[in-house]
């Protein structure tokens, strides 16, 4: 059973954490956000570490850059249901996989599939996936197609999204780490973490 997630939370990763009951849908203390993200990352292949301080810093500014907004987040925590229209909202200058109401957009998924290629995993099986070069091409193309309605910071923000997701959700392939398309779709469309990570999380 997954929990409902506010349409005003546009982050596919945080949406999955809320849906799985790892974070509340509303307000979460910065320490809890940082700890939870770290715990989920450690459940990934190779137990990657993200650095709690970096996650905390993002959560501090995510609802507004002004001193009063930052003071409020420092005291109350991150408002996960108020990320839309905050400083990290790229207003469509991204993958477009989720629309403004956080609905999954099949046409954008089909476009994203075009950046992927076959990846061989340790047991010799092959699956479609995205490595860092392919993700970089996708991010560049996302920025490119938004000419005229993008901020310069939007391209930099992407580096804190897709490459970080590659670290957390990535699988080790014969030629390096990659995001499995099947797992990525499950995350973005169904707000589910890969079964291998869920199993490690429930084992503590
Ligand atoms: C406090 C922590 C975080 C906050 C406040 C946050 C916030 C956001 C926001 C507001 C967006 C929407 C950006 C847009 O308009 O395209 C977003 C997108 C995204 N975030 Fe997060 N995020 C956080 C942590 C993470 C982490 C840890 C990961 C990876 C493991 C991640 C991966 C992504 C990805 C892949 C996107 C989608 C970008 C696209 O569609 O192009 N986020 N995040």
pLDDT given for residue 77 in this prediction: 98
Q: What is the DSSP string of the chain?
A: -PPP--TT---HHHHHHHHTTSS-SSEE-HHHHHHHHHHHHHTSTT-----HHHHHHHHHHTT-SSHHHHHHHHHH-EEGGG-TTSTT--TT-S--SB-TT--B-HHHHHHHHTT-EEEEBTTS-EEEEEEHHHHHHHHHHHHHHTTTS--HHHHHHHTTTHHHHHHHH-EEETTEEEEEHHHHHHHHHH----HHHHHHHHT-
Ligand 1 touching residue 154 (CB < 6 A): no
Looking at the domain assignment, is residue 127 inside a domain?
yes
Looking at the domain assignment, is residue 57 inside a domain?
yes
The preferred substitution site among 65, 161, 177 for testing ligand 1, maximizing ligand atoms within 8 Å of CB, is: 161
Residue 175 has pLDDT above 90, yes or no: yes
Ligand 1 touching residue 80 (CB < 6 A): no
Looking at the domain assignment, is residue 2 inside a domain?
no
The residue count for the chain: 204
pLDDT given for residue 26 in this prediction: 98
Distance of CA 106 to the CA centre of its chain: 18
Digit-coded pLDDT (tens) for 21-51: 999 999 999 999 999 999 999 999 999 999 9
Report the domain count for the chain.
1
pLDDT given for residue 63 in this prediction: 98
Looking at the domain assignment, is residue 7 inside a domain?
no
Ligand 1 touching residue 95 (CB < 6 A): yes
Looking at the domain assignment, is residue 5 inside a domain?
no
Instruction: For residue 62, give the nearest of 78, 39, 42 by alpha carbon.
Output: 78
Question: In ligand 1, which atom is closest to the CA atom of 168?
Answer: 30
Looking at the domain assignment, is residue 94 inside a domain?
yes
Instruction: For residue 11, give the nearest of 71, 58, 64 by alpha carbon.
Output: 58
Digit-coded pLDDT (tens) for 86-137: 999 999 999 999 999 999 999 999 999 999 999 999 889 999 999 999 999 9
pLDDT given for residue 69 in this prediction: 97
Question: In ligand 1, which atom is closest to the CA atom of 83?
Answer: 10
Looking at the domain assignment, is residue 1 inside a domain?
no
Ligand 1 touching residue 59 (CB < 6 A): yes
Digit-coded pLDDT (tens) for 125-169: 999 999 999 999 999 999 999 999 999 999 999 999 999 999 999
CA of 83 to the centre of ligand 1 (A): 10
Q: 180 lies in which domain range?
A: 12-202
């Amino acid at each position: 059973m997954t929990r409902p997630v506010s349409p005003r939370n546009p982050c596919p990763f945080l949406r999955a954490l809320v849906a799985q009951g790892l974070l509340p849908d509303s307000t979460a203390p910065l320490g809890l956000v940082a700890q939870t993200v770290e715990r989920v990352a450690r459940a990934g292949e190779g137990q990657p570490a993200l650095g709690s301080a970096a996650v905390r810093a993002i959560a501090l500014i995510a609802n507004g850059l002004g001193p009063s907004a930052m003071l409020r987040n420092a005291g109350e925590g991150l408002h996960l249901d108020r990320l839309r229209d905050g400083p990290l909202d790229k207003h469509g200058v991204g993958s477009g996989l989720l629309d403004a109401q956080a609905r999954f957009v099949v046409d954008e998924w089909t476009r994203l599939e075009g950046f992927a290629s076959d990846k061989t995993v340790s047991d010799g099986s092959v699956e479609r996936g995205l490595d860092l070069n392919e993700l970089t091409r996708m991010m560049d193309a996302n920025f490119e197609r938004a000419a005229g309605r993008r901020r310069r910071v939007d391209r930099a923000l992407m580096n804190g999204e897709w490459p970080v997701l590659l670290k957390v959700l990535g699988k080790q392939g014969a030629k390096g780490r990659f995001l499995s398309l099947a797992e990525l779709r499950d995350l973005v469309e169904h707000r589910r973490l890969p079964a291998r990570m869920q199993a490690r999380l429930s084992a503590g």
